[in-house]
Amino acid sequence: MAASEVIDLAGKMLQEGASILDIGGQSTRPGAEAISANEELDRIGTVIEAVVQHFGDAYISVDTYHSEVAKEVVKLGAHIINDISGGQYDANMFNTIASLNVPYVVMHVNENKDQMHNVNASTSILPVVHDFFTKTIAATKECGIQQLIIDPGFGFSKTPEQNFELISNLSSFASFQKPILIGVSRKSTIYKTLGITAAEALNGTTVLHTAAILNGASILRVHDVKEANEVVTLCSYLQ
């Protein structure tokens, strides 16, 4: 996407009420090819600079599991690092985040990058994710990371049934006393379950956003900002 297109999209999202703009240069969809830190930075560096220039007050998150990318994007004006690997794919990430002193999202996923989307359908996912966060939170605290956000990793290395298990039991993560981020927007668990396409999955996304907020989610990572904000507003009256 060209920088001009990014600016148009960012402006639309901010106008519709987005609190954070999440920028990423690498696809993590099943079958996507991993790229190097240098290539990732080449893709997103000018985009971040353009967003900072046009929307100086915007809060920018960068989606990366490379510590070198994290260092550089914070220099460019990013405020938060969103790591889908939860620190598992780069041994330097925790220390880097601690030195940068920025909010850090850790997501649950398989520890082997090449098996990111492999699933174990025979087990309950809830104790697996709880164990991951117990260990990860302790490790990040030991490294000196002060601002941690947890993401159960909806759609990553999990079956649809396990994804629904996470949403239904999201309140159990309150014991970690960390903000919870959820990324369910238009994912395959929704559209495959309903027998529709991703383009038709807005209504299903809204249902799961509602369930997630009522069960304790603090942050929604979305495609459709206006509709997600309506969920947030209405749920605030229910809680």
Task: Identify the pLDDT of residue 54.
Answer: 95
**Residue ranges per domain, the chain?**
3-238
Q: Which CATH number fits domain 3-238: 3.40.190.10, 3.30.420.130, 3.20.20.20, 3.40.50.2300?
A: 3.20.20.20
Q: Residue-wise pLDDT tens for the chain (239 aa)?
A: 677 788 999 999 999 999 999 999 887 776 667 778 899 999 999 999 999 999 999 999 999 999 999 999 999 999 999 999 999 999 999 999 999 999 999 999 988 777 767 778 878 999 999 999 999 999 999 999 999 999 999 989 899 999 999 999 999 999 999 999 999 999 999 999 999 999 999 999 999 999 999 999 999 999 999 999 999 999 999 97
Cβ atoms of residues 111 and 84 within 8 Å: no
23 DSSP β-pair partners:
62
Report how far residue 83's alpha carbon sits from residue 101's, in angstroms, rounded to the nearest whole number: 15
Report how far residue 228's alpha carbon sits from residue 19's, in angstroms, rounded to the nearest whole number: 11
Residues 6 or more apart from 231 whose CB is under 8 A from it?
A: 206, 209, 210, 213, 220
Task: Identify the pLDDT of residue 134.
Answer: 98
Q: Write out the two tokens for 172.
A: 């159990």
Residue 39 sits at the vertex; the CA angle it makes with 34 and 45, to the nearest 5 degrees, is 125
Residues 6 or more apart from 214 whose CB is under 8 A from it?
A: 235, 238, 239
Task: Identify the pLDDT of residue 1.
Answer: 67
Mapped onto helix, strand or coil, the DSSP state of residue 182 is strand
The closest alpha carbon to 204, from 233, 174, 147, 164, belongs to 164
Residues assigned a catalytic role: 187, 221
Mapped onto helix, strand or coil, the DSSP state of residue 199 is helix
pTM of the predicted model, to two decimals? 0.93
Task: Identify the pLDDT of residue 32.
Answer: 66
